[in-house]
C-alpha cells in the first residue's frame, strides 16, 4: 500500500512537471543539412544562420556553417564562424587550424601566427606538427625582414618607408614595443600621413598604453584622411573625447588644425572661453585663412566690444566662399543676408554642423544635419553634393549615386562639375543602360601578322536582378587571312559576331555569361562555305589582382590572374580554357611615363585536344603608358616561349614577340 502510494505521488509529480522544451534549432538545422546534401549552398547558409541564432552556443553548428561558406568562396565569413567555434570549444584544434589558415589567407597574418603558436605548444601531436610548419612559414620571413630593415637603418640614412616597413613586420610578429618605436619615428619623419597615427594608436592599445593610444586615435580621427578617421573612431570609446585627451593628441600632432579647432569648440561649449580663445589664436597663427576660426575669434572679439580687431577677421569670412558661414557673421553684425536660394537660418546652422561633423569624421551625425538642411532648402547644391560624398564614405553607393545625380544639375558650376565627375564614376554600376567598348589590336612576330579584337556591348539593368541582358557585336580578324602554302590555315575568325545574351554581376571577381547569335565572315572561304553561321557561346570569367598596379599611387610588386572558360558551338561544341598569370614590379612614375614589368605564364587548353588550342607559354613582358592617356589605355609587349601540349602532336617550341594596345570605355 505504501509502495503504491509512492508510485502514485511520483506519477502525479511527473505529470505536473513542465515538459522539456523543444530544440529551437532542430527545424532550421534539419532543413540546412538537407539543402547542403543537395548542394544548394546559399539556401543552406540561410537556414544555418537561423540555427545559429536559435542555438548560438553550439560550436558544431558554426563549424558546419563555416565549411558551407567555404563552398561558396566566402572566406572571411567562414573565418569568422571558425573563430566563434574556436571560442566556444578551445580544445578543437582542427577548427583552430582552419581558423588560422583562413586568417593567413585573408591578410590577418599576426592573428594566424598567434593561433599557430598556441596550437604548436598545446595541441594534439598531429595538430602540433601542422601548426609548427605553418608558424615557421609565417615567422621566419617576418624575422628575416625585421633583421634586414634593422641593418638597413643601421648603415643607411633614415627613411619613412624603412621605419614603416619595420614597424609593420614587428606588429605582425607581435614585437609590439619595436613596432610602436618605429611607427612613432615614421610619424615624426612624415607627419602628413595620418594613417601612421592609426597604426601607432592600434599598437599602443595592444600594449595597454591606453592614454597614449587614445591620444593617437583622437588625432587620427580628426585628420584629413577619411578612411583613417573612420577606423580610428571604431577603436575609440563611444563618446566625445575629453579635454585632456584632446590636449595629449595635440602634443602628438601639434600641426593638426582640425584637432585644435575641435578642442576650441569643446572649450567654448564648456564655458571656458579664455582657453578656447587661446586655441583659436594658435590656429590663426598657423592657418590665418581658416575661415571657421576667423569667424569664431571675430565673434569673441565683437562680444568684447573690440570691433576693429574683430572686423579684420570677420571681413575675411564675409569675402570668403562659404556663404553659409558668411551669413552667420552677417546675422551677428545685423547686416542683410545674402541669399543665393531660399535658405533659412536653420539650414545654415545645419550646414555648419554638418561640415564640422564631416571634418571630425562623425559621418552619421553629418548625415542627419545634411538631411535637415536639405529639408529646409531642397535646391541647395552644396548640401546635395555633401550628401553624395557622405553616403559614398559610408559605402552606400546607391544613395550616393542619387545625390550626385541631383547635385550635377545645380547652378553652381564648381559643385556641378565635381558632382558630375563623381556621378560618372558610379554610373556604370547603377545606370539603367550601359555600353562598353574594348579594343585590342596586336602584332605577332610568330605569324608576321597584325590581329584585331574588340567588342561593343549594351546592357540593360532590370531592377535588382543579379544579371543584365545585353546585345553585342564582337570583332575578330587579321591582315594576312591565312598562313599560305599548300594547306593554308586561317589565322583568325575574320568575322563579326552579332548576339543577344545575359551576363551576371561580378562576385569576388567572377562573372558568368551566355549568348546566342550569328557569325558573319567578311572573307570568302570557298564554295559551299556560308559566310553566316549560328554562334552560341557561354562562359565564366575571373580576374583578381594584388599589389601596386600601373597608374596606382605608389610603386611595388604586383600579381594578377585572369581565367576564362568558354563554350563555343562553332568549334564542334568545344570548351576552351584560357588562364593567364602575371607577377612583376611597378616602378615609380618618371615624369608622365608609367611602366610595369612582369613575367607571363599562360595556359590554353580545350576538351578536344585540338592543335591550335593547347599551349603553355612563358616569358617576360612590359606595359607602359603616359599619364595624359585615358586610364584604361596602355601599350604592352611580351617575348613568349611556347610549347604545344595537344595530345598526339609533337611539334617544335615556338618564340613569339607580341606588341599590343588595349583600350576600354564604359558609358
pLDDT digits (tens, 9 = 90+) for 500-519: 999 887 777 788 999 998 88
Average pLDDT, the chain: 81
Distance, in Å, from the CA atom of 195 to the CA atom of 214, rounded to the nearest integer, reads 15
Cα–Cα distances (Å) from 94 to 63, 72, 127, 337, in that order, read 10, 21, 7, 70
Q: What pLDDT score was predicted for residue 343?
A: 43
Total number of domains constituting the chain? 3
Within a domain: residue 221? Answer: yes
Residues 389 and 480 in one domain: no
The verdict on 404 and 464 lying in the same domain is: no
Q: In whole angstroms, what separates CA 350 from the centre of its chain?
A: 31
Looking at the fold, whether 413 and 529 belong to one and the same domain comes out as no
Q: Are strands 433-444 and 449-460 parallel, antiparallel or unpaired?
A: antiparallel
d(Cα 291, Cα 542) in Å, to the nearest integer? 50
Please report which helix (H) or strand (E) contains residue 102, including its range: helix 93-105
Closest CA to 472 of 447, 503, 448: 503
**What pLDDT is stored for residue 491 in this prediction?**
67
Least confident span in 194-198, 278-282, 317-321: 317-321
* 409 within domain boundaries: yes
The pTM of the full predicted model, rounded to 2 decimals, is 0.47
Residue 364 shares a structural domain with residue 460: no
Q: How confident is the model over 321-339, as pLDDT tens digits?
A: 777 777 777 777 777 776 6
Residues 498 and 551 in one domain: yes
**Domain of residue 68, residue span:** 27-144
Encode pLDDT of 163-200 as tens digits.
888 988 888 888 889 989 988 998 888 888 888 888 89
Taking residues 541-568, report their average pLDDT.
81
Same domain, 408 and 487: no
d(CA 205, CA 203): 5
Which of 371, 386, 419 is the C-terminal boundary of a domain?
419
So what's the pLDDT on residue 640?
Answer: 92
**What is the mean predicted confidence (pLDDT) over 547-572?**
81
pLDDT of residue 553: 56
Q: Residue 151: inside a domain, yes or no?
A: no
Residue 14, pLDDT score? 38
Residue 10: inside a domain, yes or no? no
**Mean pLDDT comparison of 228-232, 246-250, 523-527, highest-scoring range:** 246-250
Note whether 368 and 467 are same-domain residues: no
| Residue 174 is assigned to a structural domain of this protein | no
The mean pLDDT value for 156-163 works out to 84
Quickly state the pLDDT bin for 376 (edges 50, 70, 90).
Answer: low
- For residue 69, the domain's CATH number is 1.25.40.10
Same domain, 213 and 253: yes
Residues 253 and 307 both lie in one domain: yes
Q: Is it the case that residue 229 has pLDDT exceeding 60?
A: yes
Q: Which of 366, 391, 419 is the last residue of a domain?
A: 419
Q: What cell numbers appear for 172 in the block?
A: 605582425
**Residues 220, 97 share a domain:** no
Position 224 pLDDT exceeds 70: no
Q: Is residue 17 part of a domain?
A: no
Report yes or no on 231 lying in a domain: yes
Residue 454 has pLDDT above 50, yes or no: yes
CB 512 within 8 A of CB 542: no
Q: What is the CATH number of the domain that holds 650?
A: 2.40.128
443 and 409 in one domain? no
Q: 107-111, 151-155, 238-242, 631-635: which range is least confident on average?
A: 238-242
Instruction: Report the distance separating Cα 264 and Cα 284, nearest Å.
Output: 12
Rounded to an integer, the average pLDDT of 302-319 is 82
Residues 457-467: tens digit of each pLDDT? 988 888 767 78
Contact assessment for residue 572 and residue 609, using Cβ atoms and an 8 Å cutoff: no
Q: Is residue 11 part of a domain?
A: no
Domain end position, chosen among 121, 144, 167: 144
* pLDDT mean over 345-360: 64
pLDDT for 89-138, tens place per residue? 888 888 888 888 988 888 888 888 888 889 898 888 888 888 898 889 88
342, pLDDT greater than 50: no
Residues 371 and 339 in one domain: yes
Q: Is the dihedral of CA 212, 215, 219, 220 positive or negative?
A: positive
B/e letters for 336-348, b = 16+ CB within 10 Å, e = fewer, are eeeeeeebeeebb
Amino acid at each position: 500500500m505504501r509502495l503504491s502510494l509512492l508510485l502514485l505521488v511520483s506519477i502525479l509529480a511527473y505529470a505536473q512537471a513542465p515538459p522539456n522544451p523543444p530544440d529551437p534549432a532542430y527545424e532550421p538545422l534539419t532543413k540546412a543539412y538537407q539543402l547542403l546534401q543537395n548542394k544548394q549552398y546559399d539556401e543552406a547558409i540561410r537556414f544555418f544562420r537561423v540555427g545559429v541564432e536559435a542555438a548560438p552556443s553550439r560550436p558544431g553548428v558554426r563549424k558546419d556553417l563555416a565549411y558551407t561558406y567555404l563552398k561558396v568562396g566566402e572566406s572571411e565569413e567562414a573565418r569568422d564562424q571558425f573563430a566563434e567555434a574556436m571560442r566556444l570549444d578551445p580544445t578543437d584544434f582542427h577548427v583552430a587550424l582552419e581558423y588560422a589558415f583562413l586568417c593567413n589567407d585573408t591578410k590577418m597574418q599576426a592573428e594566424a601566427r598567434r593561433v599557430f603558436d598556441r596550437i604548436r605548444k598545446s595541441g594534439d601531436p598531429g595538430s602540433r606538427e601542422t601548426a609548427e610548419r605553418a608558424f615557421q612559414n609565417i615567422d621566419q620571413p617576418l624575422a628575416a625582414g625585421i633583421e634586414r630593415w634593422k641593418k638597413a637603418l643601421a648603415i643607411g640614412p633614415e627613411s619613412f618607408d624603412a621605419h614603416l616597413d619595420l614597424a609593420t613586420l614587428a606588429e605582425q610578429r607581435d614585437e609590439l614595443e619595436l613596432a610602436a618605436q618605429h611607427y612613432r619615428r615614421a610619424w615624426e619623419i612624415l607627419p602628413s600621413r595620418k594613417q601612421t597615427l592609426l597604426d601607432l594608436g592600434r599598437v599602443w592599445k595592444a600594449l595597454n598604453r591606453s592614454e597614449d593610444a587614445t591620444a593617437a586615435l583622437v588625432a587620427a580621427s580628426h585628420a584629413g584622411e577619411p578612411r583613417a578617421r573612420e577606423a580610428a573612431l571604431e577603436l575609440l570609446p563611444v563618446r566625445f573625447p575629453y579635454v585632456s585627451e584632446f590636449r595629449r593628441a595635440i602634443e602628438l600632432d601639434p600641426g593638426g588644425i582640425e584637432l585644435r579647432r575641435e578642442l576650441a569648440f569643446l572649450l567654448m561649449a564648456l564655458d571656458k572661453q579664455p582657453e578656447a580663445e587661446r586655441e583659436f589664436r594658435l590656429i590663426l597663427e598657423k592657418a590665418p585663412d581658416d575661415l571657421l576660426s576667423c569667424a569664431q575669434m571675430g565673434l569673441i572679439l565683437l562680444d568684447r566690444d573690440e570691433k576693429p580687431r574683430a572686423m579684420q577677421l570677420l571681413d575675411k569670412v564675409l569675402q570668403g566662399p562659404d556663404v553659409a558661414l558668411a551669413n552667420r557673421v552677417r546675422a551677428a553684425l545685423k547686416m542683410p543676408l545674402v541669399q543665393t536660394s531660399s535658405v533659412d537660418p536653420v539650414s545654415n546652422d545645419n550646414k555648419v554642423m554638418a561640415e564640422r561633423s564631416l571634418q571630425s569624421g562623425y559621418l552619421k551625425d553629418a548625415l542627419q544635419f545634411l538631411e535637415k538642411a536639405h529639408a529646409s532648402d531642397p535646391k541647395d547644391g552644396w548640401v546635395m553634393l555633401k550628401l553624395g560624398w557622405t553616403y559614398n564614405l559610408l559605402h552606400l553607393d546607391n544613395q550616393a549615386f542619387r545625390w550626385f545625380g541631383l547635385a550635377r544639375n545645380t547652378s553652381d558650376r564648381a559643385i556641378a562639375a565635381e558632382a558630375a565627375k563623381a556621378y560618372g564614376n558610379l554610373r556604370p554600376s547603377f545606370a539603367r543602360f550601359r555600353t562598353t567598348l574594348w579594343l585590342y589590336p596586336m602584332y605577332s612576330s610568330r605569324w608576321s601578322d597584325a590581329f584585331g579584337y574588340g567588342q561593343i556591348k549594351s546592357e540593360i539593368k532590370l531592377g535588382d536582378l543579379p544579371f543584365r541582358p545585353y546585345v553585342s557585336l564582337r570583332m575578330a580578324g587579321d591582315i594576312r587571312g591565312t598562313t599560305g602554302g599548300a594547306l593554308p590555315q586561317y589565322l583568325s575568325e575574320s568575322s563579326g559576331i552579332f548576339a543577344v545574351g545575359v551576363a551576371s554581376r561580378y562576385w569576388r571577381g567572377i562573372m558568368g555569361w551566355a549568348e546566342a547569335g550569328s557569325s558573319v565572315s567578311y572573307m570568302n572561304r570557298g564554295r559551299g562555305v556560308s559566310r553566316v553561321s549560328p554562334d552560341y557561346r557561354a562562359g565564366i570569367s575571373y580576374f583578381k589582382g594584388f599589389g601596386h598596379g600601373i597608374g596606382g599611387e605608389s610603386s611595388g610588386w604586383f600579381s594578377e590572374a585572369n581565367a576564362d572558360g568558354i563554350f563555343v558551338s562553332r568549334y564542334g561544341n568545344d570548351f576552351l580554357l584560357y588562364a593567364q598569370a602575371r607577377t612583376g614590379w611597378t616602378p615609380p612614375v618618371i615624369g608622365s611615363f608609367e611602366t610595369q614589368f612582369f613575367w607571363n605564364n599562360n595556359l590554353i587548353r580545350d576538351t578536344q585536344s585540338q592543335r591550335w588550342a593547347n599551349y603553355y607559354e612563358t616569358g617576360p613582358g612590359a606595359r607602359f603608358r603616359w599619364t595624359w592617356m585615358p586610364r584604361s589605355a596602355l601599350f604592352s609587349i611580351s617575348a613568349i616561349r611556347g610549347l604545344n601540349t595537344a595530345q598526339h602532336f609533337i611539334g617544335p617550341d615556338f618564340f613569339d614577340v607580341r606588341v599590343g594596345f588595349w583600350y576600354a570605355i564604359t558609358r
